[in-house]
């Protein structure tokens, strides 16, 4: 796919996320890794609802920023996934989606696997989602925390901040982060209801059938 087409697809998916209220204002960022390991990333302070393909920033392999605007300050998050997950990581999406952020703040949340196993689809698209502590936005330590996972997780939830998901390509990354937000919404709706989660045997049957990461 050409670079110009990828730029258009970033704007298309971003607008869809924004129009449905999954992120808001100037929150969230998206990146895509190109075949030559350069990165296209949304600019700092931009709104998903008003992105211009020509304003998407390119980051070269040497770290040079090419474009009229600055890249998102959370670029270290994106780079950390690309560095640790190799070919499994072709795109990264980070949102400030309401239900996911709310779930990150609740007491008693399992830090190793923040999402309840309510449906097979969160398991299939996300695996286990690690809850990371709060970092000041733009702190390079966020990237270091992801590197500390040694490429074992495709999705994390930043406490009081929002989810970050990396998939093989842009569309799968968007689908996965939307699944994360939907499952977080389910968790809030069902909190205190003693809802029946998938049991361990059911989880493993999904993991084994689809050869999923579940560590």
Count of domains forming the chain:
1
Per-residue pLDDT reduced to its tens digit, 42-61: 999 999 999 999 999 999 99
Is residue 121 among the annotated active site residues? yes
149 part of a folded domain: yes
Looking at the DSSP bridge assignments, the partners of residue 32 are: 40, 91
In a domain, 189, yes or no: yes
Q: How far apart are CA 62 and CA 34, in angstroms?
A: 14
Q: What pTM value is reported for the model?
A: 0.96
Query: Residue 1: its pLDDT value, please?
Result: 87
Any domain includes 215? no
Indicate the SS3 state at residue 13: helix
Its domain, for residue 71, covers: 3-210
CATH number, domain with residue 157: 3.40.225.10
- Is 118 one of the annotated active-site residues of the chain? no
8, 74, 118, 171: the active-site residue: 74
The full DSSP string for 25-78 is TT--EEEEE-TTS-EEEPBTT--GGG--GGGPEEE-TT--EESSSPBPTTHHHH
Round to the nearest angstrom and report the end-to-end CA distance of the chain: 33
> What pLDDT shows up at residue 215?
80
User: Using one digit for the tens of pLDDT, what is the confidence trace for 103-126?
Assistant: 999 998 899 999 999 999 999 999
Sort 196 into a burial class: Cβ within 10 Å, 0-12 / 13-18 / 19+: exposed
Q: Which of 55, 118, 121, 171 is catalytic?
A: 121
Q: Which run of H or of E encompasses 61?
A: none
* Predicted confidence band of residue 152 (pLDDT cuts 50, 70, 90): very high
70 in any annotated domain? yes
In terms of DSSP H, where are the helices of the chain? 3-19, 75-85, 98-104, 120-126, 141-147, 170-189, 200-210
Residue 124 forms part of a structural domain: yes
């Amino acid at each position: 796919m050409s670079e110009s087409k990828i730029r258009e697809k970033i704007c298309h998916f971003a607008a869809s996320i924004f129009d449905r209220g999954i992120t808001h204002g100037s929150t969230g960022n998206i990146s895509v890794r190109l075949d030559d390991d350069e990165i296209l990333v949304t600019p700092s302070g931009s709104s998903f609802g008003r992105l211009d393909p020509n304003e998407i920033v390119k980051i070269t392999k040497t770290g040079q920023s090419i474009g009229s605007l600055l890249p998102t300050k959370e670029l270290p998050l994106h780079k950390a996934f690309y560095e640790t997950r190799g070919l499994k990581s072709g795109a990264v999406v980070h949102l400030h989606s309401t239900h996911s952020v709310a779930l990150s703040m609740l007491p008693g949340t399992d830090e190793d696997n923040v999402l309840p196993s309510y449906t097979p689809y969160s398991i299939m698209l996300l695996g286990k989602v690690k809850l990371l502590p709060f970092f000041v936005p733009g702190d390079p330590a966020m990237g270091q925390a992801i590197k500390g996972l040694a490429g074992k997780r495709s999705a994390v939830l930043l406490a009081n901040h929002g989810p970050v998901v990396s998939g093989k390509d842009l569309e799968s990354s968007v689908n996965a982060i939307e699944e994360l937000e939907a499952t977080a919404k389910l968790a809030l709706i069902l909190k205190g209801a003693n809802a029946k989660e998938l049991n361990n045997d059911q989880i493993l049957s999904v993991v084994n059938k689809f050869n999923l990461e579940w560590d």
